[in-house]
Amino acid sequence: SVYTSVYERSEFQGLVEYTTATDVWLTAYAIWQIFSQGALPIASGSDHDDVSDVFPKPELCPQILYIEMARCWSEPRSNRPDIEELSSKLTKHAIGPHKTDDGLKQ
């Protein structure tokens, strides 16, 4: 199952403390799942596999967004963006400026 393959990753092996870095990892994984249309990650044999080998860039995912997602899977966890930075990047690159009712960008 997807839960087994995700939770077998080193991110969750021996997890003693659930942190915001774990939330960031899971957020990027959820985005990857959306763009992958529910595909499963590629099985990993090593804790040190290149993230692009386990979570290849989905065809429909913009490169800039995939780069941000990969940062969320960084090891050590201290290299990951915090949730505020991730939110800002998603708004800027993935969602973009929204339009008002009059059609003007805000």
pLDDT of residue 94: 55
- Split the chain (106 residues) into runs of 10 and give each run's mean pLDDT: 51 69 91 88 58 81 92 90 92 61 51
Contact call for residues 5 and 43 (beta carbons, < 8 A):
yes
CA separation for the pair 43, 58 (Å, rounded): 16
**pLDDT at 55 (0 to 100):** 86
Structural domain spans, the chain: 2-95
Homologous superfamily of domain range 2-95: Transferase(Phosphotransferase) domain 1 (1.10.510.10)
